[in-house]
Amino acid sequence: MVAFLSELLLLHETEAFLVRDASVRSVGTPPTALVASVRGEPFDPDRHPARVEVKAVTYHGLVFDPGRGRARVIVDI
Residue 10 belongs to domain with CATH number: 3.55.10.10
Confidence at residue 25, expressed as pLDDT on a 0 to 100 scale: 85
Is 76's pLDDT higher than 90? yes
* Cα separation, 64 vs 34, whole angstroms: 12
pLDDT in tens, 23-60: 988 888 888 888 999 999 999 999 998 888 999 999 99
The more confidently predicted of residues 11 and 69 is 11
Number of domains forming the structure of the chain: 1
* Cα separation, 42 vs 16, whole angstroms: 6
Confidence at residue 69, expressed as pLDDT on a 0 to 100 scale: 79
CB contact at 8 A, 60 and 72 = no
Question: What domain range includes position 28?
Answer: 2-76
What mean pLDDT do residues 15-30 have? 90
* Cα separation, 43 vs 33, whole angstroms: 28
